[in-house]
Structure 1
């Protein structure tokens, strides 16, 4: 049973458990997709029903943002911990490299996915990156065909929310991959275009602060995030706990 956090059900997994679940989906056959909601996702899903349904329909729903885990505690239904999408991806990549699985990278600006592919193949010897495509496309068909022809097992879909989640729902089954994972700006990190926060800030759940210092224009987005905690407190006071 998933843990309901403000209308979105999360899988209560550790990072290791999430990686094992992802690997099992790849081996399972058929099409599956994973999402990594942060507080912004929760707020957006309240006003975007197709997006909310895409989150609810995922085979894996992982708590990416520290605000999600804080909200879970406030609601009285704590999760085992945060599962950052990029760290989930890294664990999955290690497994893929060891088992000969094929990866397709979709998203970011032209040239970024290719750079990310080169870096990932160097970091995970044996990893097969069977194709790439930037996120600046107008029609889905050619991208779906490229994934089909690549015979990818896994696709990292890095188009930003909600576009990436809706794209996976709409095109995933036809693309032929076993697992698609929505990973936002992860390709920029894998390519070395964007740096993650220092490890100490990561452990404290303060990556958002590091990103804000690097990109002050994000202040408008960050200012909305405390709304998730206020909403969780309100839900707790009005009996929201009963929905767990």
Structure 2
């Protein structure tokens, strides 16, 4: 589905995991890079208000639906897409990297959490090579000198796939910059995915996720930080639902 804004549009263009992995494998074989973003309601709120975020987002070749509301809106528009959160893509993409003999790198989190995440992921994916782990400093600017140094460092490490765990909009902006500096590399924005692997954050139980209530679980875990975010997300739903319905009947 295409989500339209005053300055352009963002489109979910990954229909399912099998199609995504096939596309990524082809890109690895051709030494062709990519940037992958996972669209959710919070991103839709930010995309309306932050031109820099929007300009970075539209440079991503691959966009998945991260969150049931994006899946439901797409279906309302007559476009069938699968729910593919960033956290759920880490292991499948790591396995594909092993199959294609591609090394992995992490940017985000702390030195300790990255070490734990690397160990956990290597246990889940035998043969995985983690070539670089970079924990940015506080106040990390994806457009600054530290960001360029981090991107250059992962390129020099020999990594071909980089997981970015910085949160939106920093991770998507860093991915777009990485595509410019190192066009042969793949960049995947995964939010809290590394923290889940490291055990720094606890993800909602599988049953809660199946019931599409992960947002409620997260809100209960940190209401002071997330309550306002979810109010803003709820506020944009009616407008997007109306546009999706119109797309279906165009």
Does the CA-based 8 Å contact 1:5-1:68 persist in structure 2? no
Q: Tell me by how many angstroms 1:8 deviates.
A: 1.6
Query: 1:230 aligns to what?
Result: 238
* Alpha-carbon RMSD: 2.1
Query: 1:19 aligns to what?
Result: 21
Query: 2:171 aligns to what?
Result: 164
Q: Tell me by how many angstroms 1:61 deviates.
A: 0.6
Q: Tell me by how many angstroms 1:169 deviates.
A: 1.3
Q: Tell me by how many angstroms 1:236 deviates.
A: 4.8
Confirm or deny that 1:106 pairs with 2:107.
yes
Q: Tell me by how many angstroms 1:46 deviates.
A: 1.2
Q: Of 36, 39, 61, which residue of structure 1 is paired with 2:38? A: 36
Q: Name the SS for the 2:84 alignment partner.
A: coil
Query: Matched residues in 1 for 2:179 and 2:100: separation?
Result: 22
Q: Name the SS for the 1:145 alignment partner.
A: helix
Q: How many residues align?
A: 239
Change (3 A) 1:177 1:114: farther
**Unpaired runs of at least 5, structure 1:** none
- 1:97-140 CA-partner distances (Å, limit 9, x unpaired): 33322000100133211211111111111000001001325622
Q: Name the SS for the 1:19 alignment partner.
A: helix
Q: Name the SS for the 1:224 alignment partner.
A: helix
TM-score, normalised via structure 2 length: 0.87
Q: Of 226, 229, 240, which residue of structure 2 is paired with 1:221? A: 229
**Unpaired runs of at least 5, structure 2:** none
Confirm or deny that 1:58 pairs with 2:60.
yes
Change (3 A) 1:225 1:67: same
Q: Tell me by how many angstroms 1:241 deviates.
A: 4.8
Does the CA-based 8 Å contact 2:74-2:244 persist in structure 1? no
Q: Name the SS for the 1:225 alignment partner.
A: helix
Query: Matched residues in 1 for 2:148 and 2:244: separation?
Result: 45
- 1:40-61 CA-partner distances (Å, limit 9, x unpaired): 1111111222222322221101
Change (3 A) 1:14 1:30: closer
Query: Matched residues in 2 for 1:181 and 1:100: separation?
Result: 17
